[in-house]
Amino acid sequence: MDKLCLRSYIKTRLLLGLTATQIHDELTIAYGQSVVSYRTVARWVERFSNEQWSLEDNPRSDRPITAITQQNIDAVNDLIYISHGSVYTILKEHLGLTKITSRWVPHKLTEEQRQRRVDICTKNLQKLEGGTWRLCDIITGDETWVAKNEGPPTVVKRQQFEKKTMFVIFFMTNGPLLIHELPSGTSINAVYYRDQCLKKLVKNLRKKRPSSTTNGIKLHHDNAQPHTNNIIFDFLQEKKINVMPHPPYSPDLAPSDFWLFDYLKRDLDQYPDDTSLAKAITKTLKSTPINEYQKTFQKWIERMKLCIEHHGDYFEHLL
């Protein structure tokens, strides 16, 4: 969809009294999940609300066409040798970020972001508590980087530029469904995510649920670009898999972030290569008692309720 048409639609619906959440929902239903992010809709709603009616981007004076300038290269080179403590100070005190579970997010959510969290938690809870959805039909997961020396830092001092491996992990109430190791040098785009992750996930699901397979299945993943591409949307539609909405900036509402990844890395040791690391991760996840997965899904429901009770604000400090 042309960006000027998109902005014109946002402006018109705003003038008719709709919120950013409602406008984003309409666009997603009409054009698919990757048409525009909620953050973009909220930004233009805020701009129009301040009576800035132009549909064009603000002029960007003296801004280089590319961010890859010698000045930025030199800046990155300087950053390489900054200590972990200094990086933490910059992220927290100068960039206004805070760490929720294992991710850095905005220190203070906007009103629109808080409302979005409340709206999504409310809708998800209504379906779960009303019986429309079942916890046992939900698949949740994400990507994470794992170092070969992921053990406690008091035991082994890590190398500053230690190589890490990315894993894609999905699980259900009855345990892990997909543990996928990305080859070194590979990055995830929509095609890779579909072919190497989701197709394998569906294949594994067919083995676990031969009679029903994807019937009633809900897939929960975050709003990263590869996840929201039309390629993914079309594939999931073809397989009759619905997506369980996830609010932006909400690792505290993602089981992978608030439980699995920390739990997994806490029990890992040192490994000489990627193969032994992958075997250790698989062993840990498959040997984790089923009731731990089930408890995590119940805690997920509790977290949705806490989010609503606290009007969309972060609540980790209360747990």
Q: Please compute the mean of the pLDDT values over residues 124-145 and round it to a whole number.
A: 96
> What's the CATH number where 132 sits?
3.30.420.10
User: Do 75 and 23 share a domain, yes or no?
Assistant: no
User: Do 87 and 15 share a domain, yes or no?
Assistant: no
pLDDT above 70: percentage of residues in the chain: 80
* Residue 63 maps to a domain: no
User: Do 83 and 179 share a domain, yes or no?
Assistant: no
* Spatial CA neighbour of 260 closest among 143, 128, 117, 182: 143
Q: Please compute the mean of the pLDDT values over residues 269-282 and round it to a whole number.
A: 90
Residue 298 has pLDDT above 90, yes or no: yes
pLDDT of residue 237: 94
Domain containing 200 equals: 116-310
User: Do 94 and 210 share a domain, yes or no?
Assistant: no
* Residue 62 maps to a domain: no
* Residue 56 maps to a domain: no
* Residue 277 maps to a domain: yes
pLDDT tens, position by position, 285-296: 999 999 999 999
pLDDT of residue 155: 41
User: Do 281 and 143 share a domain, yes or no?
Assistant: yes
Segment among 37-46, 72-81, 259-268 with least mean pLDDT: 72-81
User: Do 150 and 298 share a domain, yes or no?
Assistant: yes
User: Do 33 and 176 share a domain, yes or no?
Assistant: no
Residue 314 has pLDDT above 80, yes or no: yes
User: Do 12 and 147 share a domain, yes or no?
Assistant: no
* Residue 289 maps to a domain: yes
User: Do 36 and 124 share a domain, yes or no?
Assistant: no
Higher pLDDT: 81 or 197? It is: 197
* Residue 108 maps to a domain: no
Segment among 144-148, 200-204, 206-210 with least mean pLDDT: 144-148
Higher pLDDT: 54 or 33? It is: 54
pLDDT of residue 99: 54
Total domain count, the chain: 3
> What's the CATH number where 37 sits?
1.10.10
**181 phi and psi angles, rounded to 5 deg:** -95, 125
pLDDT band at 104 (very low <50, low <70, confident <90, very high): low
Most confident of 21-35, 102-116, 212-226: 212-226
Residue 49 has pLDDT above 80, yes or no: yes
Most confident of 76-85, 131-140, 310-319: 131-140
pLDDT of residue 150: 62
User: Do 190 and 280 share a domain, yes or no?
Assistant: yes
Q: Please compute the mean of the pLDDT values over residues 154-166 and round it to a whole number.
A: 58
* Residue 59 maps to a domain: no
Residue 78 has pLDDT above 70, yes or no: no
User: Do 162 and 243 share a domain, yes or no?
Assistant: yes
* Residue 58 maps to a domain: no
User: Do 129 and 247 share a domain, yes or no?
Assistant: yes
Q: Which pTM was predicted? A: 0.68
